[in-house]
Amino acid sequence: MENVFNRIRNHHLHDRIVSAEQAASWISNGMTLGLSGFTRAGDAKAVPMALVERARNEKMKVNVYTGASLGSDIDRLFAEVGLLNKRLPFQADPTMRKKINQGDFYFVDQHLSKTSEMVRGQVLQPIDFAIVEAIAITEDNMIIPSTSVGNSMVFAAHAKSIIVEINLAQPQLLEGLHDLYEPEKQGDRSPIPITKVDDRIGTLGIPVDMAKVRGIVFTNQTDSPSTVTAPDIDTNTIAQHLIAFLRGEVQEGRLTNRLAPLQSGIGSVSNAVLHGLIDSEFTDLEVYSEVLQDAVFELMDAGKVRFASCCSITLSGSKMERVFPNLDQYRDKLVLRPQEISNHPEVIRRMGLIAINTALEFDIYGNVNSTHVLGTQMMNGIGGSGDFARNSRISIFVTKSTAKDGNISSIVPFVSHVDHTEHDVDVVVTEQGYADLRGLAPRERAELIIERCAHPMYREQLMDYYKEALTRGGQTPHVLEKALSWHTNFAQSGTMLQKVLQSV
């Protein structure tokens, strides 16, 4: 009971406490749900799980909108039990991915800053229930989110009803770290008043109309730990090339050793690259990103990062154990914002971020595929990479130069799917080196990319393609009938490598 009073401080709401099963029973076939959760952090856990149990015995479909990917196996189970009609704007679960690629349900892959505009603008299906994880509800009716903010604020504002999951396993020390701000509707909107990463512009929680809060569920389950793998030789080398590039920017006088606010995408490569900054000369750094992974806390602990703004904290199990009980140490160095604000073009452009995102593949002209394997199979989604790449000061994409034991070259003549056009790609980095593409025409880009970034075993093959393309001419020379042949070769023969293909 102490927890009840402590966690639901408007005592008029105590009669709204229900079980997860009871809350899930309100959801009916055809409804649309807006769930908290961003890259495995702060997801509503109990009600979705109770819904999964219902769906095992009952034919029902719902639309599920989230912040980004969910943890706690929810995305996997949603996909497995066939509960989904439509899912947006991002996921990262292998089972869900498989079902998406089979066409079992619709997946809408969106820029993560944009879902909120579509909800606010009433373009998407209206949300019946927002189901939002929290650490508390305050006396003045604010929901205090947990380890992520995601789209919870806009979902709560626009849903017909709200279910709050108060998770006792989440660190209560998170309270005070959030900064909740919702832009007015387009056309009546003021500038978003963030000019520095540590600016606070909103409230400590999500102000809600408590008449809409239909139920409050207590839970006690930690977030799923992140799945990032440790840095390896290749990612360390990528980090070193990136540092060499940044060092050059400092030497040219375009940056100082404080660099510019850093954004880094989700995943092992991005995490490893950030980690690589620990031993660099750069200092007093700032982060303005979606997700904080382990590396940012390591950089803070090493005194390298002064302040980090995010919309989600996604840590490995051991890092959770280290960070969460000690959040007071980070209190003046952290803020969690809605993903609309962490990823907002206006703020990204104003502050001039250095954006580091991961490519699946890029082509000799600098177009990037970050989502579709062989142009067709969805991996995770574009996430926030578009928000950052388009609007940053320097848009960097990193990847290992090969995959599948060298049978895939990450540098191809023509990407099989475009998420980021050459206009939005300033620097590409592999373990082979970096290519600074700023101010370069396509013909200049091609030679540099092949020479600096491609794996040696693919360089000649890429140059052969490029030379043949040059005979055809054009601003962006291509041999169209061969442009996608590397991908079809891999699909048919398991390798892109010409020498192997010829010997087969």
Q: Which residues are catalytic?
A: 290
Using CB under 8 A as the binding rule, whether residue 476 contacts a second copy is answered as: yes
- Torsion angle (degrees, nearest 10) of CA 109, 114, 117, 123: -20
Nearer to a second copy, 112 or 323 (CB): 112
Using CB under 8 A as the binding rule, whether residue 418 contacts a second copy is answered as: yes
- DSSP string covering 464-484, please? HHHHHHHHH-SSS---HHHHT
Instruction: Indicate which single residue of 143, 162, 440, 462 sits in contact with a second copy (rule: CB under 8 A).
Output: 440
What residues have CB less than 8 Å from 163, skipping those under 6 apart?
A: 23, 26, 44, 47, 129, 130, 131, 132, 213, 214, 215, 216, 217
Number of H helices and number of E strands within the chain?
A: 19, 26
Instruction: Indicate which single residue of 1, 405, 438, 504 sits in contact with a second copy (rule: CB under 8 A).
Output: 438
Q: CA distances (Å), 20 to each of 24, 51, 163, 497, in order?
A: 6, 9, 10, 53
Instruction: Indicate which single residue of 84, 124, 153, 323 sits in contact with a second copy (rule: CB under 8 A).
Output: 124
Nearer to a second copy, 176 or 345 (CB): 345
Using CB under 8 A as the binding rule, whether residue 480 contacts a second copy is answered as: yes
Distance CA(355)–CA(334), nearest Å, equals 19
Distance CA(22)–CA(143), nearest Å, equals 21
> Which DSSP letter does residue 222 get?
P
Using CB under 8 A as the binding rule, whether residue 5 contacts a second copy is answered as: no
Cα 164 to chain centroid, rounded: 24
Using CB under 8 A as the binding rule, whether residue 447 contacts a second copy is answered as: no
Instruction: Indicate which single residue of 126, 248, 325, 352 sits in contact with a second copy (rule: CB under 8 A).
Output: 352
Using CB under 8 A as the binding rule, whether residue 346 contacts a second copy is answered as: yes
**Number of neighbours of residue 252 by Cβ within 10 angstroms:** 8
Choose the binding region for a second copy from 6-14, 20-28, 187-195, 323-331 (rule: CB under 8 A).
187-195
Using CB under 8 A as the binding rule, whether residue 96 contacts a second copy is answered as: no
Q: Are 250 and 226 in contact (CB under 8 A)?
A: no
Instruction: Indicate which single residue of 15, 57, 59, 123 sits in contact with a second copy (rule: CB under 8 A).
Output: 123
Using CB under 8 A as the binding rule, whether residue 185 contacts a second copy is answered as: yes
# binding residues, a second copy (CB under 8 A): 84
Using CB under 8 A as the binding rule, whether residue 471 contacts a second copy is answered as: no
Nearer to a second copy, 37 or 384 (CB): 384
Instruction: Indicate which single residue of 56, 349, 404, 499 sits in contact with a second copy (rule: CB under 8 A).
Output: 349
What is the token pair recorded at 138? 């305050």
Using CB under 8 A as the binding rule, whether residue 416 contacts a second copy is answered as: yes
Instruction: Indicate which single residue of 25, 488, 494, 501 sits in contact with a second copy (rule: CB under 8 A).
Output: 488
